[in-house]
């Protein structure tokens, strides 16, 4: 069973196009904001539909049942991307945890300076593969293809980053990230010093480790939820953009 398709198009990370779930309304290019009314009674807050059950094994709330700030965030993602990544819908089941998770995600993944955004996505893909997270490998692999502008790289990193087309800096970065993901108790000062040898700073080391740690949580939650990747992620960024 797959999520309900939305026919609109947009640009998320320059190419993403998601789908609206849990609504039978037709999409005209943007969400119908007039339908996103204030929260309804608790009894109506969760709609069990086949499409929602395909996203998560836990309840997925209807958009109009959500707190204003969370509904606004999801609407903004839809307007920018053209579809709603299923992770937003699944985490909306727990509003406080939604806010905390995405606040830390944004702080690490969208910050300026230090690691590039493509390098941050490489860390997510490599560590998510180590943690056997279907959703994160597929979704962040799509973002990596777009941000790195290398259609083959995400698959290489997901299958075995040791054989991927990486620079020495990127290889050192991923070695450290996977160490944090799998053997954080073994991290030593020597590991930080090794990163410095590739031009990575202590602040970069923090970011690498923090991204690996955050997505260790994300990976485990995605597996707990049986979170399904949106179908659109599989094809994003695989061919050069038309000029």
Give residue-wise pLDDT tens across range 31-41.
443 343 333 33
pLDDT, position 54: 79
pLDDT, position 175: 97
What is the rounded distance in angstroms from the CA atom of residue 102 to the CA atom of residue 78?
A: 16
pLDDT, position 37: 37
Burial of 71 (0-12, 13-18, 19+ CB in 10 A): buried
Length of the chain: 243
Q: Nearest-CA neighbor of 205 among 100, 110, 119, 105?
A: 119
Question: C-alpha angle with apex 58: 55 to 59, nearest 5 degrees?
Answer: 90
Model confidence, pTM: 0.78
Cβ-proximal residues to 190 (8 Å cutoff; 6+ apart), any chain? none
Question: C-alpha angle with apex 178: 222 to 174, nearest 5 degrees?
Answer: 115
Per-residue pLDDT reduced to its tens digit, 115-149: 999 999 999 999 999 999 999 999 999 999 999 99
3-state secondary structure (DSSP) of residue 46? strand
3-state secondary structure (DSSP) of residue 232? helix
CATH numeric code, 109-234: 1.20.1290.10
Q: Where are the beta strands (DSSP E) in the chain?
A: none
pLDDT, position 92: 96
pLDDT, position 51: 54
pLDDT, position 239: 82
Which residues of the chain does CATH 1.20.1290.10 include?
A: 109-234
Residue numbers of the chain with a pLDDT score lower than 70? 1-53, 240-243
């Amino acid at each position: 069973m797959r999520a309900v398709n939305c026919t609109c198009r947009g640009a998320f990370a320059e190419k993403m196009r998601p789908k609206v779930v849990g609504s039978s309304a037709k999409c005209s290019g943007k969400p119908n904001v007039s339908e996103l009314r204030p929260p309804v009674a608790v009894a109506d807050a969760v709609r069990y539909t086949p499409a929602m059950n395909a996203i998560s094994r836990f309840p997925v709330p209807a958009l109009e049942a959500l707190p204003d700030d969370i509904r606004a965030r999801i609407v903004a993602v839809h307007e920018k991307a053209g579809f709603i990544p299923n992770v937003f819908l699944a985490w909306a089941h727990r509003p406080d945890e939604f806010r905390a998770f995405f606040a830390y995600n944004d702080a690490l993944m969208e910050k300026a300076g230090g690691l590039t955004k493509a390098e941050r996505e490489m860390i997510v893909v490599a560590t998510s593969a180590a943690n056997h997270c279907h959703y994160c490998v597929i979704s962040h692999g799509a973002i990596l293809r777009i941000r790195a502008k290398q259609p083959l790289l995400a698959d290489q990193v997901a299958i075995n980053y040791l054989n991927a087309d990486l620079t020495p800096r990127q290889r050192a970065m991923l070695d450290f990230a996977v160490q944090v993901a799998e053997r954080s108790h073994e991290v030593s000062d020597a590991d930080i010093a090794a990163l410095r040898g590739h031009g990575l700073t202590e602040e970069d080391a923090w970011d690498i480790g923090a991204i690996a740690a955050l997505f260790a949580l994300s990976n485990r939650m995605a597996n707990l939820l049986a979170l399904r990747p949106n179908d659109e992620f599989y094809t994003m960024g695989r061919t050069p953009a038309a000029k």
